[in-house]
Amino acid sequence: MKLELLVPTMHKDHNGIVELFHKMNIHSDVLFANQCDDEWNEEFEIDGYNVRVISTKTRGVSVNRNILLKSFKADFGLYMDDDGVMNETYQREVLDFVKKNNDAKFIKFNFTLSSKDDDRPHYLIKKTKKAKYTDVSPFGMPGFMIARDVAQKENVLFDEKIGVPNYISHGEDSVFIKLMFNLKVPTYVSTIYIGHINNEDSTWFKDFDERYFVSQGYLYTAMHGKWYMLFILRMYFIHHKEYNKYKLKSVIKFAKKGHAMFIGGKNDD
């Protein structure tokens, strides 16, 4: 059984990739999806590990995630951001996990996090188990491992209309995780720590504004269909004190706009 680490990155040349490999303390085969101003691929070895690089002129978080999803060759691919630092034993530990839980196809592992935003929540897995949707819904893709036979299915994709630099600038991971449950992919959470992420400022969140609430309408429609407004109302009543000038009427209006964008985009596909 083999593992590839899946790392999205930007604007790296060959030397930059080598530097990133060592900076991340990688101890497995790895695939880098490198968005830059040229198109080139290469494959080489470092310390006995296979390093593959797919460089494209594409832009977009979801686009880069899909390049990784459809291009890895190992039995499992493990997503990690390029500001992560891996534990030396991660490969052995995650592969041991799937050997013991041989029905597992989509697994979330722990990592520690440092962030400039001290108020940003960081959820940790406290018990290893087969997961319900609510067990994984707070997480992004770093730390998720996916089986290749699932990743290769035609309908398993990140929505490329979501994520920076799109107008719907966040939520691509949440929609993908919900897709895994819609497809009934066997999902686990594990207390194994695979590394650390040094998380800098958010690339998408600046403030609560019209764009944010439109995006929420789009995302909740993508995940929950006709029930999207129930989740908008729940969001509002939990967080309304943070929304400053935005009252419920305005939030609903903007969310309906996002809902219409999702339905219109779906009809265009």
DSSP, residue by residue, 50-116: EEEEEEES---HHHHHHHHHHH--SSEEEE--TTEEE-TTHHHHHHHHHHHSTT--EEEEEEEEEES
**Same-domain check for residues 30 and 70:** yes
The number of folded domains in the chain is: 2
pLDDT category at 266 given cuts 50, 70, 90 is low
The first and second tokens of residue 87, run together, are: 């534990």
For 9-22, what is the mean pLDDT?
98
**Same-domain check for residues 88 and 61:** yes
Which among 115, 101, 108 is positioned nearest to 143, based on CA atoms? 108
Question: Residue 51: inside a domain, yes or no?
Answer: yes
Question: Residue 254: inside a domain, yes or no?
Answer: yes
Question: Residue 23: inside a domain, yes or no?
Answer: yes
Could you tell me what percent of the chain has a pLDDT over 70? Answer: 93
**Same-domain check for residues 192 and 143:** yes
Question: Residue 264: inside a domain, yes or no?
Answer: yes
Question: Residue 204: inside a domain, yes or no?
Answer: no
Mean pLDDT for the chain? Answer: 92
The tens digit of pLDDT for each residue in 110-151 reads 999 886 655 555 789 999 999 999 999 999 999 999 999 999
The tens digit of pLDDT for each residue in 143-197 reads 999 999 999 999 999 999 998 889 998 899 999 999 999 999 999 999 999 999 9
**Same-domain check for residues 225 and 172:** no
- Which of 141, 164, 199 is where one domain is finished? 199
Q: Which amino acid is at 46?
A: I
**Same-domain check for residues 182 and 219:** no
What Å distances lie between residue 215 and 94, 114, 117, 163, CA to CA?
A: 34, 27, 22, 10
Q: In CATH, what number is assigned to the domain containing residue 89?
A: 3.90.550.10
Give 50's Cβ-side CA count (13 Å radius): 11
Q: Is the pTM of this model over 0.85?
A: yes
Residue 240: the pLDDT is: 83
Residue 135: the pLDDT is: 96
Kind and range of the H or E run holding 133: helix 133-136
Angle at 90 between CA 98 and CA 11, to 5 degrees: 115
**Same-domain check for residues 241 and 165:** no
Q: Which amino acid is at 222?
A: A
Could you tell me what percent of the chain has a pLDDT over 90? Answer: 83
Question: Residue 125: inside a domain, yes or no?
Answer: yes
Is there a contact between 259 and 217 (Cβ–Cβ < 8 Å)? Answer: yes
Structural domain including 149 reads 3-199
